[in-house]
């Protein structure tokens, strides 16, 4: 009976959302997560709290504390549960392009080698099971910064005459001849592997190239988790640093529920070797300055922040995802949250936990 979903990074933002989402549709989950986030970014970034919540809220959840780079451990997972697997959702990663430069080997082995280990285990044991990969818009490197951008009072925007103005950046943008950051390189390698296992071996695979993925399950830190960390700092009085571009850099943001709902639609009618830009698009986007103002309005508190002229290496000045390719394949999918709704959900869900930890 195919009633089981394998989710890597299951205690993280997207992984935990996927566990709950699929539990609500009658699926049990096997979660692979070793709280690597705490090792990478420190105890404040630990996902242990989320793992405990999953154990309480989802009786059909089974946790496996293992490293996705460990071929033997992953092979055992597939040998044990392969007959029941209906879907694989791979969200485990080293997610910070800043941190990657401090240990390029760890970054690459987690993101690229770990993905290869999972793909090969899937091919050997369950080749007909759909494989979903949470990729990133960093596969495009800093090429979006070459777009004709216009500086406004509180944000950058793309010139109104450009083809990307109405709907955002689509999948036709090249991924080479640009500065990616080492994180962008490791995720691009994984992205291409997922595509190739779909195209070469005929497996049902998809890369979802997300912009800013966010939601109440995010253990945001200074190095990763833009909106969640910004809201946490505003709510708790912690200091925040804005890096470069006068705080006018723009991101689209997608709630973890909306992303996992996109996974669900792909699962219903999987395709091979697909690539989708996925994000909040024109409906859900903001600049740093706009996000700060929203956080202050929601919490009723002023954010203590400072500005650094040095932007993050390979960072985008303006990114809005064109999601029309995915929508054309899955027209029943729609966004449920805009920026305001996302920030309110993050604040409402975490206020008590943040206060207790302060």
> 247-259 pLDDT, tens per residue?
999 999 999 999 9
Q: Which pLDDT score is estimated for 41?
A: 86
pLDDT at 133 over 80: yes
- Span 122-129, average pLDDT: 98
Kindly indicate the confidence band of residue 56, based on its pLDDT and cuts at 50, 70 and 90. Answer: very high
Write out the two tokens for 47. Answer: 């996902």
* pLDDT tens profile 60-95: 999 999 999 999 999 999 999 999 999 999 999 998
Specify which residues 156 forms β-bridges with.
151
Kindly indicate the confidence band of residue 209, based on its pLDDT and cuts at 50, 70 and 90. Answer: very high
pLDDT at 161 over 70: yes
Angle between helices 339-357 and 226-236 (to 10 degrees): 50
- Span 148-152, average pLDDT: 98
Q: Are 171 and 105 in contact (CB under 8 A)?
A: no
- Span 22-37, average pLDDT: 96
- Span 129-149, average pLDDT: 97
- Span 130-149, average pLDDT: 97
* pLDDT tens profile 309-348: 998 887 899 999 999 999 999 999 999 999 999 999 999 9
Kindly indicate the confidence band of residue 127, based on its pLDDT and cuts at 50, 70 and 90. Answer: very high
Q: Is the pTM of this model over 0.85?
A: yes
Print the domain residue range for 237: 4-357
* pLDDT tens profile 251-286: 999 999 999 999 999 999 999 999 999 999 999 999
- Our count of domains for the chain comes to 1
SS3 per residue for 229-294: HHHHHHHHCCEEEEECHHHCCEEEEEEHHHHHHHHHHHHHCCCCCEEEEECCCCCCEEEHHHHHHH
Kindly indicate the confidence band of residue 226, based on its pLDDT and cuts at 50, 70 and 90. Answer: confident
d(CA 219, CA 222): 10
Q: Which pLDDT score is estimated for 95?
A: 87
- Span 148-153, average pLDDT: 98
- The more confidently predicted of residues 220 and 188 is 188
- Supply angle C-alpha 306, 254, 171, rounded to 5: 105
CA neighbor of 112 nearest in space, from 198, 194, 51: 194
Q: Which pLDDT score is estimated for 223?
A: 62
DSSP, res 309: S
Return the H-helix or E-strand segment holding 349: helix 339-357
CATH of the domain at 148: 3.40.50.720
pLDDT at 230 over 70: yes
Count Cβ atoms within 10 A of the Cβ of residue 337 and give its class: 0-12 exposed, 13-18 middle, 19 or more buried: buried
């Amino acid at each position: 009976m195919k009633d089981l979903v394998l989710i890597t990074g299951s205690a993280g933002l997207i992984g935990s959302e996927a566990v709950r989402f699929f539990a609500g549709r009658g699926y049990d989950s096997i979660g692979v997560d070793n709280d690597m986030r705490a090792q990478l970014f420190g105890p404040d970034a630990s996902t242990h709290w989320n793992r405990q919540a999953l154990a309480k809220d989802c009786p059909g959840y089974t946790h496996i504390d293992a490293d996705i780079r460990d071929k033997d451990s992953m092979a055992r997972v597939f040998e044990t549960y392969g007959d029941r697997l209906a879907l694989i959702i791979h969200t485990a990663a080293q997610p910070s392009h800043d941190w990657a430069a401090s240990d390029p080997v760890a970054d690459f082995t987690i993101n690229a080698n770990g993905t290869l280990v999972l793909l090969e285990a899937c091919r050997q044991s369950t080749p007909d099971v759909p494989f979903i990969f949470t990729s990133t818009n960093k596969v495009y490197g800093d090429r979006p910064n070459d777009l004709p951008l216009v500086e406004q009072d509180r944000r950058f925007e793309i010139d109104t005459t450009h083809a990307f103005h109405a709907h955002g950046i689509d999948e036709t943008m090249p991924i080479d001849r640009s500065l990616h950051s080492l994180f962008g390189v490791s995720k691009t390698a994984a992205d291409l592997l997922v595509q190739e296992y779909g195209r070469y071996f005929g497996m049902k695979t998809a890369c979802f190239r997300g912009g800013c993925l966010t939601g109440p399950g995010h253990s945001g830190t200074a190095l990763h988790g833009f909106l969640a960390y910004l809201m946490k700092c505003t709510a708790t009085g912690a200091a925040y640093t804005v890096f470069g571009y006068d705080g006018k850099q723009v991101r689209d943001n997608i709630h973890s529920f909306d992303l996992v709902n996109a996974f669900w639609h792909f699962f219903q009618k999987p395709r091979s070797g697909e690539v989708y830009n996925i994000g909040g698009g024109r409906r859900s986007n903001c600049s740093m300055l706009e996000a700060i103002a929203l956080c202050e309005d929601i919490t009723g508190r002023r954010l203590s922040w400072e500005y650094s002229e040095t932007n993050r290496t390979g960072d985008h000045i303006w990114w809005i995802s064109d999601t029309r390719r995915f929508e054309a394949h899955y027209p029943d999918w729609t966004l449920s949250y805009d920026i305001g709704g996302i920030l309110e959900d993050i604040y409402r869900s975490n206020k008590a936990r943040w206060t207790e930890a302060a």
